[in-house]
Copies of this chain bind each other. A is one copy, B any other.
């Protein structure tokens, strides 16, 4: 039997058009399966009538692509929220700072989260860190996250795949469990029986 407090919420972070402009973010993105995997998660959550939260970034920086007043701030068409799904607008990296996300989850007695989106090392990592530290039970869907190449303070360029892999390694077992999509979908479907 399923209880309200057993439900696992899917949290999709920053799946916005601006992230299609790879050159703006670092030229190379990892994980070509990102779009497919995100859609698979969303479809599964919808089919099982489980809670879904879309987080979008509305930057304070007028030059950012992730703004409310630009088409590049829109969510990818295939992931557009539908009635009954929660939309959280954030202005910082963390989905919990300056937003109603924590209140939404606590009021709905949701303690399990499945988190995916962009970018693995920035907004996803920061959200997972806070969620874990606040006591949520977090599954991080590494296969449905991605990031971009980045230049460090010493001028070295780090490859997107390496940044992504080390971000997952930093988080796994400390703030969350990194899970495979296959296992996750099976476990979540079992919650609904």
Q: Which residues of A contact B (CB under 8 A)?
A: 92-94, 97, 121-122, 125-126, 129-130, 132-134, 142, 150-154, 156, 158, 162-163, 165-170, 172-175, 178
Contact = CB atoms under 8 A, between A and B. Distances in A.
Given A122-B174, A174-B93, A174-B122, A152 B166 contact: yes
A125 B122 CA distance: 11
A138 to B, nearest CB: 13
Contact of A158 (B134, B156, B169, B175): B169
A39 B166 CA distance: 29
B133 A170 contact: no
Contacts of A163: 166, 169-170
Contact of A156 (B92, B156, B165, B175): B165
Contact of A166 (B94, B122, B132, B158): B158
Nearest to A166: B166
A126 B92 CA distance: 14
A122 B153 contact: no
A174 B175 CA distance: 21
B129 A152 contact: no
B142 A169 contact: no
Given A93-B129, A97-B130, A133-B92, A165 B169 contact: no
B97 A170 contact: no
A67 to B, nearest CB: 17
A88 to B, nearest CB: 15
Contacts of A152: 165-166, 168-169, 172
